């Protein structure tokens, strides 16, 4: 019997529902569309499907602005479709993870409408409301912020996150965009209401949650101003930005405690997955899992790796740090793409050979891999007009030249990584029968599509299928320990996965040049390139090649 809980040995596939498959011809993906494509994911070998939000929402941030947590946005389907989706996923022995946006609701949520209506309604304290600070006439030393604004806090998207409401003559706080007001978790009723939502879905059989901007849920109880920092832009290892240290707005002590409370609610329903979208230094985000035992969230994304550099040294250091930071009973997550950032292949200069090697690392290293729809076929970022973006973020920056953002490496038009799934070479890449899809299908779809790659033996898709098959068969890959191999030639990264007496070595060549070196294998169970493997008693790896070999059975 296996010792690890399922959520520490699973593999996650992320679906952006708007873009996966459109079953009713309106140009927008939907729940029935996902159901129709479940066998594709099953054959790919992924067990867990995380679906970005499809709850009732005005869709101003495409579902990350929820107006009713216990109903489905008509554009994606109905409650009955959600029920069928859960059932169909379970029927295939797979798991379903919903996306919970607990930090904020939509401005259209009834809770907010009521809260905003007066200062003394029953939900008056459900959101974060503050009176204007100081007087507009007298200098009151308000730390450089605009007159009236309660604190100097910056939103995640830049600019003050305080927004004035005429109805109450007060400001409400939004971590993200103005139409996404933050809930007040210091009010026990709010916590209770949200935990009831969590129980509602767990009761319907959902296997866990991805937790949106989880480390922003608590803000300083005393509303102290954030200190100055020289940092202009937020990075994945440090949310401080726009010249302030996010001291009082991120990862507050109460937030770590909240992770444990959330976990206890999940535990009422058995072994449930919870993966936090958290930002900050590796040591801080680890704390959301618990200190000694894993009694907080079951997993956290560690987004620093989204900015990987494609070298053996980079990944050796990364794995080393992940092993240090997430030792048993913790488990790291390996993620290189999502719906907010450049796709991983973009960082690889769209080089499919490198994408194969990256997938090989991701699926053999000790950790839960998380892949973003389309990553398995090498979908590239689109280039879409900035001014007509559907994503609300670019519209905050209309005055700043797009080129500046590219230069700074910021992803501001997230439409570019959310284009429809490329299923085949037919109209709209087989995504939809509509005349117009919600975002244009990427122009590469004739070459890059699942159907074509399925037929090509050495395609990225088939490499991933083969790797997933091995991962699902070999316990050592899902559950074994990891030891980094030393003394390998430059450009080669190697590690051993071990469980009981079984040892498997993974060797990856990050260079374009062929490499040969000594290493004892009894058998190769996977080779990335046709000539990779054992040749004249040496390991031979072509440029960007890789092998998996058995050291002992």
Q: Which element (helix H / strand E) includes 68?
A: strand 68-72
SS3 367: coil
Q: Is 46 or 176 the residue whose CB approaches ligand GLC more closely?
A: 176
Identify the residue whose tokens are 């959600």. Answer: 82
Residue 461 in the binding site for ligand GLC (CB under 6 A): no
The sheet carrying 538-541 orders its strands as 515-517, 538-541, 533-535
Considering only 171, 176, 262, 303, the residue that binds ligand GLC (CB under 6 A) is: 176
Q: Is residue 47 within the footprint of ligand GLC (CB under 6 A)?
A: no
Q: Which of 26, 237, 245, 340 binds ligand GLC (CB under 6 A)?
A: 340
Within 13 Å and on the Cβ side, how many CA atoms surround 268? 13
Could you give the 3-state DSSP secondary structure of residue 7? helix
Q: In whole angstroms, what is the distance from residue 337 CA to residue 374 CA?
A: 10
To the nearest whole angstrom, how small is the minimum distance from the Cβ of residue 119 to ligand GLC? 27
Report how many residues bind ligand GLC under the rule CB under 6 A.
9
416 lines the binding site for ligand GLC (CB under 6 A): no
Q: Is 217 in the site for ligand GLC (CB under 6 A)?
A: no
Distance set, CA 503 to CA 137, 318, 405, 482, 489 (Å) = 73, 22, 46, 10, 21
Q: Phi, psi at residue 476, to the nearest 5°?
A: -60, -35
In the bound complex, which residue of the shown chain has the CB atom lying closest to ligand GLC? Answer: 64
The reply to whether 295 belongs to the active site is: no
Q: Per CB under 6 A, does 339 bind ligand GLC?
A: yes
Q: Cβ of residue 180: shortest distance to ligand GLC, in angstroms?
A: 6
212 is annotated as an active-site residue:
yes
100 touching ligand GLC, by CB under 6 A: no
Q: Which of 7, 64, 129, 526 binds ligand GLC (CB under 6 A)?
A: 64
By CB under 6 A, is residue 212 in contact with ligand GLC? yes
- Which of 168, 418 has the CB closer to ligand GLC? 418
In the complex with ligand GLC, the residue whose CB is nearer, 177 or 504, is: 177
Catalytic choice (81, 99, 182, 212): 212
Question: Residues 6 or more apart from 378 whose CB is under 8 A from it?
Answer: 345, 350, 352, 355, 448, 460
Phi, psi of 269 (to 5 degrees): -110, 10
Q: Which residue has the tokens 């494509």?
A: 37
- Which residue in 43, 167, 196, 268 is the catalytic one? 268
Task: Identify the CA nearest to 282 among candidates 332, 241, 243.
Answer: 332
Q: Is the dihedral of CA 106, 109, 111, 117 positive or negative?
A: positive
Among 22, 30, 47, 61, binds ligand GLC (CB under 6 A): 61
Which residues are within 8 A (CB) of 263 and not within 5 positions of it... i.e. 6 or more apart?
274, 295, 296, 297, 298
What residues are paired with 171 via a beta bridge?
130, 164
Q: Is 370 in the site for ligand GLC (CB under 6 A)?
A: no
Shortest reach from residue 213's CB to ligand GLC, in Å: 5
CB of 425 to ligand GLC, least distance (A): 30
Under rule CB under 6 A, residue 323 binds ligand GLC: no
Cα 449-412-113 angle, rounded to 5 deg: 105
- For ligand GLC, give the closer residue by CB, 207 or 277: 277
Regarding 415 and contact with ligand GLC (CB under 6 A), the answer is no
Binding pattern to ligand GLC, positions 486-525, x when CB under 6 A? ----------------------------------------
Binding ligand GLC (rule: CB under 6 A), the pick from 49, 101, 508, 539 is 101
Active site members: 212, 268
Summarize as ranges the residues that interact with ligand GLC (CB under 6 A). Answer: 61, 64, 101, 176, 212-213, 277, 339-340
């Amino acid at each position: 019997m296996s010792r690890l809980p399922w959520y520490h040995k699973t593999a996650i596939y992320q679906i952006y529902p708007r873009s996966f498959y459109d079953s009713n011809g309106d140009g927008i993906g939907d729940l029935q569309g996902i159901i129709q494509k479940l066998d594709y994911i099953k054959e790919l070998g992924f067990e867990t499907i995380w679906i970005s939000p499809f709850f009732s929402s005005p869709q101003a941030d495409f579902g990350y602005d929820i107006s009713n947590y216990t109903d489905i946005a008509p554009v994606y389907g109905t409650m009955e479709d959600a029920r069928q989706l859960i059932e169909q996923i379970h029927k295939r022995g797979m798991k379903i993870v919903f996306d919970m946006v607990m930090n904020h609701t939509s401005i259209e949520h009834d809770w907010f409408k009521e809260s905003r209506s007066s200062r003394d309604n029953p939900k008056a304290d459900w959101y974060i409301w503050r009176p204007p600070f100081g007087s507009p006439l007298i200098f009151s030393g308000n730390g450089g912020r605009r007159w009236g604004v309660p604190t100097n806090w910056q939103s995640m998207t830049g600019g003050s996150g305080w927004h004035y409401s005429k109805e109450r003559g007060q400001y409400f706080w939004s971590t993200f965009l103005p139409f996404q007001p933050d809930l007040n978790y210091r009010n026990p009723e709010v916590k209770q209401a949200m935990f009831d939502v969590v129980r509602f879905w767990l009761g319907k059989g959902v296997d866990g949650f991805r937790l949106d901007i989880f480390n922003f849920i608590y803000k300083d109880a005393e509303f102290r101003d954030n200190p100055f920092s020289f940092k202009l832009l937020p990075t994945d290892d440090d949310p401080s930005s726009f010249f302030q240290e996010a001291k009082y707005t991120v990862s507050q002590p109460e937030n770590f405690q909240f992770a444990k409370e959330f976990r206890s609610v999940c535990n009422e329903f058995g072994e449930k997955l919870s993966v936090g979208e958290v930002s900050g230094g590796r040591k801080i985000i680890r704390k959301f899992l618990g200190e000694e035992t894993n009694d907080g969230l079951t997993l956290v994304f560690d987004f620093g790796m989204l900015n990987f550099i494609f070298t053996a040294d980079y990944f050796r250091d990364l794995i080393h740090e992940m092993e240090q930071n997430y030792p048993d009973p913790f488990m790291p997550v390996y993620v290189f793409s999502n719906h907010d950032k450049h796709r991983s292949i973009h960082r690889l200069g769209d080089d499919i050979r490198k994408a194969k090697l990256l997938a090989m690392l991701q699926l053999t290293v000790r950790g839960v891999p998380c892949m973003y729809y389309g990553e398995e076929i090498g979908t590239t970022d689109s280039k879409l007009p900035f001014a007509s973006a559907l994503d609300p973020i670019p519209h905050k920056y209309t005055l700043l030249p797009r080129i500046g953002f590219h230069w700074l490496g910021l992803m501001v038009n997230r439409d570019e990584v959310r284009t429809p799934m490329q299923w085949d070479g037919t109209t709209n890449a087989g995504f939809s029968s509509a005349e117009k899809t919600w975002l244009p299908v990427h122009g590469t779809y004739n070459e890059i599509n699942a159907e074509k790659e399925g037929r090509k033996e050495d395609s990225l898709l088939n490499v991933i299928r083969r790797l997933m098959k091995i991962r699902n068969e070999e316990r050592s890959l899902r559950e074994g320990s990891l030891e980094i191999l030393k003394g390998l030639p430059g450009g080669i990264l190697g590690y051993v996965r071990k469980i009981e007496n079984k040892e498997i070595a993974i060797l990856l060549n990050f260079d374009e040049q062929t490499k040969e070196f000594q290493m004892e294998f009894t058998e190769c169970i996977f080779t990335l390139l046709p000539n990779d493997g054992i040749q004249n008693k040496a390991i031979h790896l072509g440029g960007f090649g890789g092998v998996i070999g058995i050291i002992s059975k």
